[in-house]
Amino acid sequence: MPTLTAVKKNKFDVLSVRAKFPALHQQVNGHPLVYFDNAATSQKPEEVIDALSHFYKNDNANIHRGIHTLAERATAEYEKTRKAVQSFIYAGEPEEIIFTSGTTGSINLVVQTYGRKFLKEDDEVIISAMEHHSNIVPWQMICEEKGAKLKVIPVTKRGELILEEYKKLLSSKTKIVSIVYVSNTLGTINPVKEIIDMAHHAGAKVLVDAAQAIIHIPINVQDLDCDFLAFSGHKVYGPSGTGVLYGKRELLEAMPPWQGGGEMIKEVTFEKTTYNELPYKFEAGTPNIADVVTMKYAIDFVEGLDREAVAAHEHHLLQKTMEGLAEIEGIRLIGTAKHKTGVASFISDRIHHFDMGMMLDARGIAIRTGHHCTEPLMNVLGIEGTNRASFAVYNTEEEVDYFLGTVREIVQKKKK
């Protein structure tokens, strides 16, 4: 792999950002690491790593119920993250921010509270054919329990939703539309604002899965007018085991608690329990305190970037990769939507995707292989799985060149 050189494009100095991520500066199988598995999880900058260490060294205590100094410090830091998330996604108030274990936990919270209370027999829930399993299986479970019906927006072979078909699915029976903002498999950016408007016109509520969008696209939940929005901390340079559910206050107030225990209660007797106010009604037990505290530093890192310049940088990497892969004989691109971000999926007519992934790993390149928890989408597209390269703020043109050259070399050797 060529030595990295200082490159400035679109006022974005990728190398100065890259220097903040210690995990990137290592050898894998005798080669400099090229980390193209960012759709699975992002690497962490030093300020996030240091913040986690600082908390455990100095402020570690349980939160909200303690009156000693460490408990008060830990509580203050924890609630700073809530306000940071509120500002990050432009929520109306911090009470609309619920901390969870991740996007999956956030979606399940909505399913098990809003879905369980409000869905009835013959009601309908709409998802799309490109959803992650975590936005399929929970809805299947509650629909089966309630006798509701799950309907699916079809996709084109390019990986774009067919909005005309979505419009036909909407009716007075539609109660919930749960839609992914950016496909983790295809990189397709869905027109969520239009989808939300159409759903609201039909009287339905909308949950947006922003797990992949949050790292690439600035999000304003009030502008989108979504009813719920879910994302994970580990996809936005933060720690794993952290997630966010945004919900409009009036909906969160109407939803019953999901889990019972400490923190989510006001008063408990053997006869009756009264529940706490938002957001604590949905945060039972001791939370993942240190990692939630640390998530603020990831958000601060992102907000300290020129996001327009970052988007231009990442789009350039994506375009260069897609064009380069298309030129390699025997490679087929999967997901060629007009509006894409962050993800280049492909297959080879000569090499199984698992084998391709292992051969790239042998040269220090980390990609993802398989169905990417979108097995129904693979069935729609008529394939078993793909090779997925996904990009983040710290990836470089030199890495893309090395990746493309390595794929070409692997394919040519197989041809011989």
- Catalytic residue IDs: 373
DSSP letter for each residue of 218-286: ---HHHHT-SEEEEEGGGGTS-TT-EEEEE-HHHHHHSPPSS-SSSSEEEE-SS-EEEPPTTGGG--SS
Question: Which pair of tokens denotes residue 367?
Answer: 């990609």
Task: Tell me how far apart the alpha carbons of residues 80 and 218 are, in angstroms, rounded to a whole number.
Answer: 20
- The set of residues, in sequence order, having a beta carbon less than 8 Å from that of 5 and lying 6+ positions away, is 398
Q: How many CB atoms neighbour CB 292 within 10 A?
A: 28
Task: Tell me how far apart the alpha carbons of residues 107 and 105 are, in angstroms, rounded to a whole number.
Answer: 6
Task: Tell me how far apart the alpha carbons of residues 48 and 52 are, in angstroms, rounded to a whole number.
Answer: 6
Q: What share of the chain is helix, strand, coil (3-state, %, to 5)?
A: 45, 20, 40
- Bridge-based pairing state of the strands 12-13 and 8-9: antiparallel
